């Protein structure tokens, strides 16, 4: 009799847990959730310069949305760069392979500063995945299109 009572209480516990789960609703499948990646953009210059920096910190839902209005997804920052004075931005993207991007150029025309010595670095999940350097501008990106 004792064995039967133990089985009945075990079955009751399992049925109770199943009913509770059914009342709470479906649990979202974690396998369907996108993996988010930490993206870090760093732009610098070897000489003081006022720079325009376009970057992507928000991922568009698809390429069509992006192509209709790329500047909605690529905001611009104006930053004073120089030795020991980089511009840094951190973002979270689900698909940095296609969407992580930073580009920098001189802001305006300054004939006295022809080569500010731009540099950029793109990190994804704390791994350097792209670098660039240039006299007039730089582009750090992984995109394949």
Q: Mean pLDDT by 10-residue block, N- to C-terminus, for the chain (145 residues)?
A: 45 41 45 87 94 94 90 93 96 94 84 78 97 94 80
Residues 45 and 78 both lie in one domain: yes
Residue 78 has, within 13 A of its CA and on its CB side, a CA count of: 3
Residues 25 and 36 both lie in one domain: no
The DSSP output letter for 85 is B
Residues 25 and 41 both lie in one domain: no
Rounded alpha-carbon distances, angstroms, from residue 120 to 25, 80, 94: 47, 14, 21
pLDDT value at position 13? 44
pLDDT value at position 71? 87
Q: Angle at CA 7, nearest 5°, toward 6 and 11?
A: 120
* Domain containing residue 7: 2-29
pLDDT value at position 15? 39
pLDDT value at position 20? 39
Beta-sheet pairing, 87-93 with 37-45: antiparallel
d(Cα 69, Cα 113) in Å, to the nearest integer?
33
Residues 95 and 72 both lie in one domain: yes
Residues 134 and 68 both lie in one domain: yes
Residues 119 and 67 both lie in one domain: yes
Residues 42 and 23 both lie in one domain: no
């Amino acid at each position: 009799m004792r064995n039967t009572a133990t089985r009945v209480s075990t079955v009751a516990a399992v049925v109770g847990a199943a009913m509770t789960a059914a009342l709470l609703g479906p649990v979202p499948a974690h396998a369907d959730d996108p993996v988010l990646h930490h993206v870090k953009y760093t732009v610098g210059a070897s000489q003081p310069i006022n720079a325009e920096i376009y970057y992507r910190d928000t991922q568009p839902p698809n390429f069509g949305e992006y192509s209709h209005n790329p500047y909605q997804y690529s905001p611009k920052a104006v930053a004073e760069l120089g030795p020991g004075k980089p511009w840094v931005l951190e973002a979270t993207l689900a698909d940095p392979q296609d969407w992580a991007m930073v580009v920098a150029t001189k802001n305006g025309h300054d004939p006295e500063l022809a080569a500010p010595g731009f540099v950029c670095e793109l990190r994804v999940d704390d791994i350097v995945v792209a670098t660039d350097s240039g006299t007039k501008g730089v582009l750090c990106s992984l995109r394949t299109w």
